[in-house]
Amino acid sequence: MRLLFGAMFALAIAAAVGLGTTWLALTRGMAYGGITIGAWTAWPRNGTAGIDPYARAMVARRGELPVGSGDGVAFYARTDDADKPLDGRCDVLVSGITPQARFWTLTLYDLDGRLVANSLRRQGFTSQEIIRQSDGSFDIVVGPRVRPGNWLPTGGVERYQLVLRLYDTPIGMATRTGSEAPMPAIKKGACQ
């Protein structure tokens, strides 16, 4: 009787621990081998056959296709440089320069990877569309209200993420630091 009870107890704990940790790993977005530069993180290995099992499970669950490593690399930011979550009701200034790449795109998604509706029908910028300063750097205001210059509307959503994709770039698995890959700064401004 005690043996049976013990076995049932152990199996219940095992199921709870096993499934619980799997759920946590998949929803919290834990993945190995990320490159973090400022608020931005990329997982270049996810675009290769060497993708780790956790990332594979996450990719399958979300139903996305990762950017192939011969194509480019995607950097994700869910927070600003001060580690505060990006809030669509506030102005956020994305400024600076990007790592070497033939083209790049900056896109705004909600946390599930869907585009966010707004009156301007603008979901992002490409490197060709951006207005730059004379030194090649740029300022993009991500916020709910109309702004002159590079304005990326948030549609007023509470939480969002920015994805900066570099195409045809030397940035990849060998990249380690921000000096090799200068990513734009993300600073929070006034809120509505």
Partner 1 sequence: MIRSGLWLLAALLLGGIVHLATILVLPRLASQDAYARVSAIAPVNVVTPLPPPTPENALLPFMDPAFATSVCRYDLARGSLKFSVPIGQAYTSVSFYTRGDVAYYAINDRAAGRRVIELDLMTNAQRADLPENEDVTRADRLIVTSPTTMGLIVIRALTPETGWIPAARAALAAARCRLQ
Contacts to partner 1 by CB under 8 A: 2, 6-7, 9-19, 21-22, 25-26, 46-49, 51, 53-54, 56-57, 59-72, 74, 102-103, 105, 107, 109, 112-117, 123-124, 126-129, 163, 165, 167-168
Phi–psi pair at 11, nearest 5 degrees: -65, -40
Show the tokens assigned to 153: 């509307």
Between 60 and 146, CB nearer to partner 1: 60
Between 168 and 189, CB nearer to partner 1: 168
Shortest Å distance, C-beta 34 to partner 1: 16
Neighbours of 32 (CB within 10 A): 12
Shortest Å distance, C-beta 82 to partner 1: 25
Shortest Å distance, C-beta 188 to partner 1: 24
> Using CA atoms, how far apart are residues 169 and 67, in angstroms rounded to an integer?
12
For helices 53-62 and 2-27, the axis angle rounded to 10 degrees is 70
Between 89 and 168, CB nearer to partner 1: 168
88: nearest Cα among 166, 165, 136, 141: 141
Between 17 and 146, CB nearer to partner 1: 17
Pairing of strands 40-42, 124-126: unpaired
Shortest Å distance, C-beta 167 to partner 1: 6
What phi-psi label fits residue 106: left (phi over 0), alpha (psi between -120 and 50 degrees) or beta? beta
DSSP string spanning 76-116?
EESB-TTSPBPBTTEEEEEEE---S-SEEEEEEE-TTS-B-
Between 149 and 189, CB nearer to partner 1: 149
Show the tokens assigned to 104: 């790049």
Shortest Å distance, C-beta 179 to partner 1: 25
Shortest Å distance, C-beta 8 to partner 1: 10
